[in-house]
Structure 1
Amino acid sequence: MTPADSTNDDNVVLTLDDILDDDLFTAPEKPKQLTSSDRLERAFLEIVEFRRTEGRVPSSQTREIAERKLGARLDGFLADDKKASAVKHLDEFGLLEAPAGPTSLDELLESDDLDDLLGDAAGILDVSDLPAIKRPEAPESVAQRVKSEDFAMFEPLFKAKHAELADGTFELQTFTGMDLIREGVFFILSGVMCFVADVGEDVDLVVGGKQKKKQRLRVVFENGTESAMYRQSLMTRMYEAQGQVLARTGIDASEILDADIESGHIYVLQSMSADPLISNLPNLHKIGFSTTSVEQRVKGALNSPTYLMAPVRIVADYRLYNVKASALEHLLHRVFADVRLDLTQVDGTGRNYDPSEWFVVPLNVIHTAVAMIMSGEIAEHVYDQARQRLIQSK
């Protein structure tokens, strides 16, 4: 273009406003933050999509994990009028409508609901925990609460959960069904917090003349007791007592185990060595970390300088959830650094090896330290070797 062309009437003159209005200068809108109402609607729409795709309502009793999760979620909506009302406008299949009652005795006898009741799919007719005529097998089938001999391993978990409830990380939600009863979940039963520490293998029992598969649980209570009740029995008691489940804030109870993840194990070992240099040391313990079972981890201890070339005994196993176990192990090592074992071992190849995870400290002090770490109190304490206890730092 020549200078003369600049006077042409066809030239476009851009103003500052035109430039600022250009898309290149327009900042993209920030995505809208999801509200609790949005999350609730999304959760229900997943159930609706399942009904549309599969042509049936998801079941909370199936072995298919994805469907079971949706079925439990639907049970939660049905049990909570407030939640049901919030998503009623999305219910195109009538999932939230109560079924019409039978109009005659014949209709009742022909209904599927009666078949389910007689089949006892929900365990309603399970009388394993009710008073019964004493028989030789009764002590094996009826669970009683007993003192938890290794409660010290679980106490830090209860303290941590109370702290997380206090700071809002976790909240109490309504118990919605047996699908929530899995290893690693905390509940409130009759005002007492309890923890499902273990779910046993299926066992075959004859109930009401029919063979049933049941699972024994190891349920530890924060008052220091534990019970080996059946899974169905815990479900019944949770419903009777209007129990609650601990769930991470903002996470639907049906997805609790997706948010509660086992981190690993902090374990404490005692050496069974016959070497006087080791056996004469009172309160000698190894504090370690494992992502597998502790029993698996200590195999071959007899030939490993890490374990002082001797068999070991497991005296504590802290199963941790939502915690970086390796960081907890490191913190424990720092707390007890002044009482670390100073000993050089020789491995199978003749090389010197300095075990770094053995400490001369009483087991009860280790229990206390774990509890303080989980509650956050440890930052204000140090280990006093002379008094063999944790004291307030100056």
Structure 2
Amino acid sequence: MQWLIDSDVDGLLDVEEKPKKITPNDRLEKAFLEIIEFRRTHDRVPRSTTREIAERKLGARLDGILADEAKSTALKRLDEFGLLEVAETPASIDDLLNSDDFDLLGDDGSGLLDTSGLPARARRVAPDDVATRVKSEDFKQYEHLFVQKHAELRDGGSRLVRFAVAGGQQAIQQGKFFVLSGIMLFVAEITDPEAAPGVRTRYKPRTKTIFENGTESRLFRRSLAGQLLEQDGYAVVSAGPVEIFPDDEATGYIYVLKSMSTDPQISHRENLYKIGFTRGSVTKRIANAEKEPTYLMAPVEVVSTYQTYNLKVSALEDLLHRVFAKVRLDIKQIDGGGRRIDPSEWFVAPVNVIDQAINLIMSGDIIDYVYDAETQRLLERD
């Protein structure tokens, strides 16, 4: 046998070395090096708010790294431009004065900034600013939304952005989540109290704000915005943010539905959802759900909707169906005319994972993930 090995001058008997398995840490480093290369090429950090998709993807990735201390620590040795360095916030006013390297807060020889002779101005607190939170009688109807949103934050489908840079008062819209003093809140409603006939009043929309501790408040939107600003609150936003501009074209809606069917072969299934698309109103689209096989001949509940811009939404919908193809519901339905119909848009997967997939598709990162039916999670590809 040895003579055969010795005579193998062409290396026919050589055993090929197995490629080294790529670890999650390897992928993290590769992702960060792409950000470094952008900084080297463009002499600036990538922005997550730009309209340029490639840069926005890198900017969102950098935001995610900065928000994760473990990732920042692991990548420190590769950070040649100091992208991961966070300026230390002064602990007190004395620290701020002592760190005034440019003497912007130095002595005012002219006395122009001396206000000691002026009466102290107390901040006027509007009664609505201290509106009492009361027990939410219908909290059960919102509780699952908080569970879902926390899951999205854990899994990376959503992230926190300081309210001060999230759009201010205009960012407070019905259906949005925020974090105030460490407590997540949900804006369930925004209404404008009707004025008496013939009386001109200023537009002052009021919110129905639900807090995750089971309380609610009826703050004016302006007052809620003020509290979020003053207390350094956060907005909960998609991990793949898309800034909407006046010339952007709304192309439709992706919607996620839950069946209210009493049919045992449907009602006993956990995490059964329909992923659909419409160019018009979702409410109108599902108005006759109990008569349509595509909706399993039963009423449905809208779980979540996504309005899309500048996208061929039918292609996005098709991609979603391919991601969850292995868990598509295999069922036949009979329509009103006696025909057998195969509803092809129902899938067995947790709704937070479906929402995560939609966000990953919009950010362009879905190509790095695959759905694992056993663990019911989106996993990074090896």
TM-score norm. by structure 2 comes to: 0.47
**Greater Rg by CA:** 1
* Structure with more helix by fraction: 1
TM-score norm. by structure 1 comes to: 0.45
